[in-house]
Amino acid sequence: MDRLLGLETEYGLYVEGVSVGELTAEARRLVQTIASSAVWDYRGESPLQDLRGFRAPRLTTHPKDEEIERQLVKAPEPRSPREDHVDRLLKNGARFYHDHGHPEYSTPECRSLWDLLAHDRAGERIVWAAACRYYEQTGRSVAVYKNNSDYHGMSYGCHENYLVRRDLPFERLMAGLLPFLVTRILYAGAGKVGRETGPPESSNVYQLAQRAEFFDELASVDTLHRRPLINTRDEPHADPRRWRRLHVICGDALLSEYAAALKVGTTALVLGLLEHGYEPPIELKDPITTIKSLACNAGGGGGWVVETQEGKTIPAVDVQRAYLRAAEERFKGRDLETDWVLREWARTLDDLEGNPEKLSDRLDWAAKRALFEAFLEAEGLEWETAPLELLQSLELEYHSLDPRRGLFWALQTEGAMKRILKEKEIERARQLPPPDTRAFVRGLCLRRFEVSAASWGHISVKQGRRTVELDLRGCVDGAIDGSGLPPDASLQDVVEWVRHLSEEARSRR
């Protein structure tokens, strides 16, 4: 995909007998079931720094979160400072930690779309394995969901990360992305029963996407409240003079490998178009209203339309087709992954336009809706009058990570969902980092040396009484060949190799 890619997924957590205010402590305990001696190095993180060139005064928090925090302050759980926030650096190059009451898994940096899918799927298995250990240690029944909503007004995210050239002006980046991201939910939504921000009479509506109704701003650094369609946090974890890290927070967590590949692959191609000077096909009159309107029309047809700034109404599929045609013209034939994305993007848009029911073997929202329709027919129920709680409990089981209960896993086992990955690729990703990104260096150091701290851009390795610092921020703009280091490489070998990679990157400027 010609750039570094990554996914961060917050998982829904339910623990029997535990209140919402206690979930943070239990999420921490769940992550702690995985042993790690290294700590996360927060020095390179600056969540208030804005891509537009200023520093935000604070992050906006959700009022419900503030209420929960006030409850916790009254009865704090005794713990050491290091246990306050638990991070686990994994030997496959990933990061496993907790974000308030959610276990969260960040894939290692990937350059291959298939590698990213494998590491995202490996993350599901790692999180579920931690949940099983938590149950063994505590005796408390636990459920973990790869979804984005608790049905009580709180949403949690699946964030995408893309390395983008710094010389692409932010105004062009935002203008080019908005029409694309708003209409992307036609194939990148996970589907959802009910609304949490709409009128009560629309409670049984079926939405294309779970996150769409939780966005209120066009652009800001916030992620927890007053969420923006374009997140402007400026943490490149690379040379800030050359790179931005685009942090996309408006997408859904997906279980379908096919849908996840389309979501990330099409976005990466659109970013490539914008870096080459492509102008967006339209300007939306009201992107926030539009994404919510599209999400609430799962029937398609004449309902999937958008209004332009000039007051014209056009099909949302046509907006996607404009980006697709431009991507085909510039990138077709570049590599196998790119050609797969272009081919399946076109196929999906054709089906969305002609027969959305055909997508039930590929897209999460379509597969889930087909399940609901079969269930309602079998039970003799009507969509409009079926108990909302019943439908939501069925939906939760679709997203469960438990391979014995999750409805998605049943569909996949039956061959009803299109696969991209092989089992050996997922299992390899559980153990090993991608061989062609700086994550390879991080994984190697964790296996071979005593790592005291690490982040996406730095690694601190103990050597006797001194600490050796590895700066990986320059190792991002070219494929790393993991075969360049033998399995028994010394620390000095690694230091020299990283220095060589950084010098090569500087010479390509």
Amino acid type, 25 = A
**SS3 at position 40:** strand
Per-residue exposure over 333-355, b if at least 16 CB sit within 10 Å of its own CB, e if not:
eeeebbebbbebbeebbebbbee
Parallel/antiparallel/unpaired status of strands 87-89 and 215-220: unpaired
Alpha-helical regions (H) of 276-387: 287-295, 316-331, 336-354, 364-379
Write phi, then psi, for 463 (nearest 5 degrees).
-135, 95
The C-alpha atoms of residue 185 and residue 213 are separated, in whole angstroms, by 12
Contact call for residues 281 and 319 (beta carbons, < 8 A): yes
The dihedral over CA atoms of 294, 298, 300, 306, expressed in degrees to the nearest 10, equals 0
The C-alpha atoms of residue 503 and residue 69 are separated, in whole angstroms, by 47
State the CB neighbour count (10 A cutoff) for residue 275.
17
Q: Which two tokens stand for residue 55?
A: 């520093």
Parallel/antiparallel/unpaired status of strands 227-231 and 215-220: parallel
**Residue whose token pair is 């009254």:** 74
Of 86, 233, 100, give the one whose Cα is nearest residue 156.
100
Helices and strands (H and E) in the chain: how many: 14, 18
| Active-site annotation holder among 41, 84, 99, 115 | 99
Alpha-helical regions (H) of 400-487: 407-413, 423-431, 439-448
Burial class from Cβ neighbours inside 10 Å (0-12, 13-18, 19+) for residue 59 reads middle
Q: 314 Cβ partners below 8 Å, 6+ apart? A: 282, 305, 306, 308
**Residue whose token pair is 């409990």:** 393
Is 2 catalytic? The answer is no
Residues with a catalytic annotation lie at 99
